[in-house]
Amino acid sequence: MKSAMGFEVQVIESSFVTPSEPAPRKGLWLSSLDLWLANQGHTPTIYLYSSSNDAAAADHFFDVARLKEAMARALVAFYPLAGRLGVNDADGRIEISCNGEGALFVVARADDFTANDVKKFKPSPELRRLFVPLIEPLSIILAVQVTFLKCGGVVLGTALHHAAVDALSAFHFFQTWSAFSKHGDRATLELPCHDRDLLRARSPPTVHPDALLTFYPKHTFFDLSGPLAIKVFTISRDQVASLKYLCGGGTSTFCAVSALVWQCTCIARRLSPDSEARLTFPADLRQRMRPPLPSSYIGNAVFYLGITSTGQDIATEVLGSVAGRIRGAIDQMDDELVRSAIDYFEMAEMDSRPPRGTLSQTVLHIFSWLGRPQYDADFGWGKPELMSLAESQCGGFVNLMNDDDGAGNGGVRLHMCMEAVNIKEMEQLLYAKLALAAFATRKGTSYDDYLSR
């Protein structure tokens, strides 16, 4: 395959990896939260690995046979990922047919690419086309592509269907696969929980009257009225610390960074003072239910929370107040809200169309992998230098990730896709406010007191 920029990736082999031991063969029922996210299709990601370390030099770097054997072992426990999406004959509901047909495994070479070339790419259709396998048929749930670069490095491209897993479930699988590759028989395994009945709707489904004030059931997408731009911003550990200090004790990184991004976006978009500005984000419900879901639950255990205010309020409020709005929405997520959301989606008509286009300029959607184990995928040759989404396709979407290469230094990497006409001002505002926050923190005063002088 050849990219629009002239880069070429050559596919060497394509095969299916099946579980190494007999696995259950059955139809796996999907919860309403699985079905709600099914239209998002496969989530494409890339992991970038360098061969310039002792572990890589000591062994055959990214040995394909070893990777396949480890995946076959991991698929014994994660057997639904070796199945196919299908439809239950009795009720027409989408399900996973656990048939053991296997995960798609592609091996490729990119003799034009170095690791530094890959690092320069932003999430884009081109990045996905080069390093994430083309999935045919679309009923395949898991697909990976191992691409060897001319510098000796490797790009691991992955695609997992959202009907089967959320982000935490996906990382659990990659941790397991990489552990089998690195440690073999000595690998420790946290068995996944496949009991999706834990998220079955109540009978009859019941939605609390106040639930829709907090959770946000559906985004509305519009055709593009102008070009979109994708930018990757980095926020250092010290800048994150300044933001959290200014937002008040106990403020999480997610709340502090999201408050900053939302405020800067509202200003850059020049929303009218009385416009209805909305922030939405997925929230994990595993620990919000009573009793809590097992931490090893495999499936979609998220839904969107929403916060609404006027554009003027978000643009002019102190940053700590905006962060407090976000924290307040999260704090309202209790068992009743979770059950109401599950019941709502069980009754709602599902949208089969994939999300395309852009959100309204009054809406910003932030999803976060902060604190997730995305850098734990060490197959025996070291942790990845970079882990990233391969494609960001919708305007108004922001992704927050740890920017620490697994080293735990506390930085944040921010992928943003928004209208090109506003993104430059958004960037200027973001870094200007970060600089002022750092200065005010050093002076021992609040950001807002400093600005008022």
Residues identified as active-site: 162, 378
Closest CA to 364 of 409, 436, 320, 315: 315
- Reduced to 3 states (helix: H, G, I; strand: E, B; else coil), residue 431 is helix
Whole-number Å distance between alpha carbons of 144 and 14 = 10
Residue 177 CA, chain-centre distance (Å), reads: 19
> Which pair of tokens denotes residue 439?
């200065």
Query: Three-state SS across 83-146?
Result: CEEEECCCCCCEEEEECCCCEEEEEEEECCCCHHHHHHCCCCHHHHHHHCCCCCCCCECEEEEE
Omega before 19 cis (within 30°)? no
Question: Pick from 110, 76, 85, 93: which is nearest to 200 by CA?
Answer: 93
Here the tokens at position 348 are 């709602």
Using alpha carbons only, give the angle 121, 125, 126 rounded to the nearest 5 degrees. Answer: 55
Residues in the chain: 453
Q: Are strands 42-49 and 154-161 parallel, antiparallel or unpaired?
A: antiparallel
Element counts in the chain: helices (H) and strands (E): 13, 17
Please name every residue paired with 104 in a beta bridge, in sequence order, or none if there are none. Answer: 16, 143
Query: In the numeric block, which tokens belong to residue 89?
Result: 């004959």
Sheet with 10-17: list strands edge to edge. Answer: 10-17, 103-110, 142-149, 154-161, 42-49, 386-389
Alpha helices in 248-384 (DSSP H): 253-268, 311-316, 319-331, 335-347
For the record, the structure tokens of 58 come out as 């000591």
Per the CB < 8 A criterion, the answer to whether 231 and 219 are in contact is no
Angle between helices 319-331 and 237-247 (to 10 degrees): 80
385 burial via Cβ count (<10 Å: 0-12, 13-18, 19+): middle
The three-class DSSP label of residue 223 is: coil
